[in-house]
Structures are given as C-alpha cells and as structure tokens.
Amino acid sequence: MGHLSDTRTSQIGLPKNWPPNWNSGEIPYVFNFHSIGVKRLISLVKQGHNYIENRSCLKFKEYDPRIAVKQPNNFTFLQYNYSGVLESCCLLYFSKPYGRRMVLITPTCAMPAEVAHATLHGMGLLHKHREPFTDTEVKEVFFFKKCDRDKEEFYNRKT
C-alpha cells in the first residue's frame, strides 16, 4: 500500500508521528529476549494484541529482532520489554519518529486492555495524565482503513 502523506495522515486523525511502514495496518514488533520474564512478556503481549486485533483493522506481525534492526532507517517497530518493577505501564518511552519504539510491560500491566493501552502509547497515541485516550483518537487509529464492519460494531459495544 502507498504511503500516506503528512496532510492525509492528519486528515485521517492518525498520530503525527505515524510511520509510513504502518500504512497497511500491519504493525511490526519484536521482543527483547534479554528481558526478565520473557515467557510472561510474550503471553501478555499476545493477549494485548488480540485485544486490539479483535476490535480494529490492525494486525501485529512479529519480527526477529536481529532482522528488524537491519531494516532501512525509516522502518518503525515496537520493541516489548518486561520489567519486574512495580510501576505503571502507562508510559511513553519512544523518542524518535522512526526505528525502535520501546513498550514497557510491568507486573501492574497484566490485563489485555492494559497491554493494549501501553501498545497504543508505543504507536504514538497520547493522553493527559490520569485521563484515558479519547474514543475518537482510538477509533481513528483502529479504523483508519476499511475492514470488516463486524469489528467496528464489536468495538462500539465497549466490551
């Protein structure tokens, strides 16, 4: 699929830093296999991805970390890390528009919706402290391209 221009991206309502390689709706990701609790990390992330995929047009594709880092400079991917520190996973860690975007999963981030929330931060969605994402912002990311109408109906049920 072609690249969305910056103007088109803002018209659709995607985050300002939405990378072109995500325009197909496929979001690449890797795991930091040097993290503690790798099995738990993989399980939690897959549940969070399922939570998003069941409610959106987005798909997540796992990459080998050694291959992801060798992609062109504008290839953007999420890198999931696990920390045993009891802190919120509602944190924004990436600092550049392209390349690796770190998503931190912690013991307090154990529900699929919480992992999905951390993932959305990695994808560029922001919100004010102690406030949720707005429904409009989430829907613009979840449904920026056409997909199965049943998914939008499922999302609208607020399950």
Separation between Cα atoms, residue 82 and residue 1, nearest integer Å = 33
Do residues 138 and 156 touch, judged by C-beta distance below 8 A?
no
Mean pLDDT of 32-59: 92
Percentage of the chain lying above the pLDDT 70 cut: 87
Full-model pTM: 0.83
Q: What Rg do the C-alpha atoms of the chain give, in angstroms? A: 15
Min mean pLDDT across 15-19, 22-26, 54-58, 88-92 is at 88-92
Give the whole-angstrom CA distance, residue 93 versus residue 79: 10
At position 110, the amino acid (one-letter code) is: A
What span, in angstroms and rounded, lies between the C-alpha atoms of 11 and 7?
6
Q: Is the pLDDT of residue 45 over 90?
A: yes
Output the CA–CA distances (angstroms, integers) from residue 80 to 8, 10, 49, 110, in the order listed. 29, 27, 12, 14
Protein fold of 6-150: Collagenase (Catalytic Domain) (3.40.390)
Identify the top-confidence range among 13-27, 41-55, 120-134: 41-55
Helix (H/G/I), strand (E/B), else coil: 75 = coil
**Separation in Å, CA 112 to CA 20, 105, 119:** 27, 11, 10
